[in-house]
Structure 1
Amino acid sequence: MSKRIPLEKVVEKVGNYYETVHVAAKRARFLYEQDSYTFGVDIKGEKHKKTVIALLEIAEGKICPKEE
């Protein structure tokens, strides 16, 4: 079901570990608000936890931190 995401790739997109955790947690919370079911489906149709989906979206460049 769930797979491991290499965090180095995700951290490169965001900048640092703290911001990565912040962005991923915010996105995962949003996904849980939309659908409280524990698992979600990614583009390929595979089931993953919402936190994994959030990390995948960051790694693919779909989600990025807000520039201030």
Structure 2
Amino acid sequence: MSKRIPLEPVVEKVGNYYETVHVAAKRARHLYSVDSYTFGKDDKGEEHKKTVIALIEIAQGKVCPKRD
């Protein structure tokens, strides 16, 4: 079902833990607003919680924080 994502690679992509949590929470809220079903599917078709999908997307570089 849901798996653990190591945060170190995700934090390296974003810059710091605070911003990582902020970006992941914002993306997870967006995923829930689009589809309120509890689980979503990743690229391989496996079901995960929306927060895990948000972290996977950040680690893959699909989602990044807005820079000024």
Give TM-score, length-normalised by structure 2: 0.99
Measured in 1, the distance between the counterparts of 2:11 and 2:42 equals: 20
DSSP-derived class of the 2:27 partner: helix
Q: CA RMSD in A?
A: 0.3
DSSP-derived class of the 2:58 partner: helix
**Letter of the 1:27 counterpart:** R
Unmatched segments (≥5 aa) in structure 2: none
Structure 1 segments, 4+ long, off by >4 Å, are: none
State the shift of 1:63 in Å: 0.4
Residues 11-55 of structure 1: CA distance to partner in whole angstroms, max 9, x if unpaired? 000000000000000000000000000000111000000000000
**Letter of the 1:49 counterpart:** K
DSSP-derived class of the 2:65 partner: coil
Counterpart of 2:5? 5
DSSP-derived class of the 1:56 partner: helix
Give TM-score, length-normalised by structure 1: 0.99
Counterpart of 1:56? 56
Measured in 1, the distance between the counterparts of 2:41 and 2:64 equals: 20
**Letter of the 2:22 counterpart:** H
**Letter of the 1:14 counterpart:** V
